[in-house]
Amino acid sequence: MIMSNSPARRAHCPNLTSLQSHILKEEEQFPTAGGDFTWILSALSLAAKSIAHKVRTARIEDVLGDQGGAANVHGETQQKLDVIANDILMTCLGNRPSVAVVASEEDEQPTILRRGNQGGKYCVIFDPLDGSSNLDVCVSVGTIFSILRNDPNIPGAAETLQQPGIKQVAAGYILYGSSTVFVLTTGTGVYMFVLDPALGSFVRVGDRLRIPASGRSYSVNEAYRHSFPDGFRQYLDWAHAHDYSSRYIGSMVSDVHRILLKGGVFLYPPTQKNPGGKLRLMYEANPMAMIIEQAGGKAVIGSTDNPAGRLVEIVPTGIHQRTSVVLGSPDEVDRVLSHLT
Ligand code: P6P
């Protein structure tokens, strides 16, 4: 007997598509898929639940603050939770047989888990806890991830990872905010899931998200305005004259998530301190660019020599290289570019 899918029935259980069942349904579109990819996404889901718990109980468990003065490869002070989140992701991904190489903002070198001929089909690169300096003041932070195919013909782990963002097979982020939100794209649109604490599962709440074409809001750290290239200062003057609002949290996952849902533009221009931009190409800019482009937005470099170039077309020369970023609603990105070019 086919159960009726009545409005009354739907009212009691509107969101019962879990991340797991969504991934399995997506896998059906690829008859040759063997479930390897699904296993990786389920590992990320498990890690996200564990990190979410650690973030929400950090002050109780006394794991806030820095890691005893330790710094990461970028010379940035490591937070205790940076290391904890990194360890959780390494553990969850490490026991997935299809993962060849893992790389993290927190580790100078990639970790080779297995070679292509040992079944390692994919590489995963991530920022385990983006914006972690905000943790002590209870501001949202996030995990950003990018999944690439492993090319067994490329000998070195770092070289295997140095693929342009257009080669990503999946990308996304988990936002540890007022709720725990998992946003994912595998190249067929952007899907959003929220962790239901009562179920212990991520349940789907958004299908094929589309970013608003425009939005009168920009997100940039205006403290560095003096050292932005002239075009960015001209854009900001234009925005001020056209009643744009400014929203900047200082946690990329939070700022980009707001723009994905509400529209607007996120900017990290070149500065004197970071002439090539501050954000990391492989595990901040590229995954966010894939999400924004998949949702109908634009994600460009904003550099002096190639302002309108797509972020995902940059050919990396190092897994920790930085870039400037302009991404968001297509109309708003075009407005910024009209002042840069
Ligand atoms: P600033 C966090 O450290 C981060 O990498 C991104 O999450 C965020 O967008 C940016 O740096 C903030 O940088 O220079 O404004 O503090």
Q: What is d(CA 229, CA 227) in angstroms, rounded to the nearest whole number?
A: 7
Residue nearest to atom 12 of ligand 1 (CA): 250
Final residue belonging to a domain, choices 173, 206, 239: 206
pLDDT of residue 152: 77
Question: Do both 22 and 150 map to the same domain?
Answer: yes
CA 148 to ligand 1 centroid distance, Å = 24
Q: The domain spanning residue 79 has which CATH number?
A: 3.30.540.10
pLDDT of residue 4: 57
Residue 111 is assigned to a structural domain of this protein: yes
Question: Do both 196 and 224 map to the same domain?
Answer: no
Q: What is d(CA 20, CA 340) in angstroms, rounded to the nearest whole number?
A: 43
Residue nearest to atom 3 of ligand 1 (CA): 131
Domain limits at 91?
A: 15-206
Question: Do both 223 and 135 map to the same domain?
Answer: no
pTM over 0.75: yes
Q: What is d(CA 83, CA 79) in angstroms, rounded to the nearest whole number?
A: 7
Q: What is d(CA 165, CA 159) in angstroms, rounded to the nearest whole number?
A: 14
| End-to-end CA, the chain | 63
Q: The domain spanning residue 242 has which CATH number?
A: 3.40.190.80
Contact 45, 208 (CB under 8 A): no
CA 205 to ligand 1 centroid distance, Å = 28
Residue 180 is assigned to a structural domain of this protein: yes
Residue nearest to atom 16 of ligand 1 (CA): 250
Question: Do both 34 and 131 map to the same domain?
Answer: yes
Question: Do both 200 and 227 map to the same domain?
Answer: no
Q: What is d(CA 216, CA 329) in angstroms, rounded to the nearest whole number?
A: 10
Query: Ligand 1, closest atom to CA 251?
Result: 7
pLDDT of residue 207: 95
Question: Do both 190 and 285 map to the same domain?
Answer: no
What's the angle, vertex CA 272, arms to CA 271 and CA 273, rounded to 5?
90
pLDDT of residue 228: 97
CA 158 to ligand 1 centroid distance, Å = 24
Question: Do both 29 and 170 map to the same domain?
Answer: yes
Residue 1 is assigned to a structural domain of this protein: no
Question: Do both 222 and 168 map to the same domain?
Answer: no
In which residue ranges of the chain is pLDDT below 70?
Answer: 1-15, 32-33, 71, 73-77
Question: Do both 226 and 201 map to the same domain?
Answer: no
Q: How many domains does the chain have?
A: 2
Q: CA dist 196 to 123, 179, 253, Å?
A: 29, 9, 20
> Among 218, 251, 256, 327, which is best to mutate for testing ligand 1, by the most ligand atoms less than 8 A from CB?
251
Residue 9 is assigned to a structural domain of this protein: no
pLDDT of residue 77: 67
Query: Ligand 1, closest atom to CA 133?
Result: 3
pLDDT of residue 14: 65
Query: Ligand 1, closest atom to CA 268?
Result: 9
Question: Do both 249 and 333 map to the same domain?
Answer: yes
Q: What is d(CA 301, CA 267) in angstroms, rounded to the nearest whole number?
A: 10
Question: Do both 108 and 151 map to the same domain?
Answer: yes
CA 252 to ligand 1 centroid distance, Å = 6
Secondary structure of residue 332 in the 3-state scheme:
helix
Question: Do both 192 and 277 map to the same domain?
Answer: no
* Other beta carbons less than 10 A from residue 314's beta carbon: 21
> Among 176, 228, 278, 280, which is best to mutate for testing ligand 1, by the most ligand atoms less than 8 A from CB?
278
Q: What is d(CA 52, CA 177) in angstroms, rounded to the nearest whole number?
A: 9
Residue nearest to atom 1 of ligand 1 (CA): 250
- Which residues contact ligand 1 via a Cβ below 6 A? 130-131, 133, 221, 250-252, 278-279
Final residue belonging to a domain, choices 145, 180, 206: 206
Query: Ligand 1, closest atom to CA 255?
Result: 9
Question: Which pair of tokens denotes residue 240?
Answer: 């001020």
pLDDT of residue 61: 81
> Among 268, 283, 288, 320, which is best to mutate for testing ligand 1, by the most ligand atoms less than 8 A from CB?
268
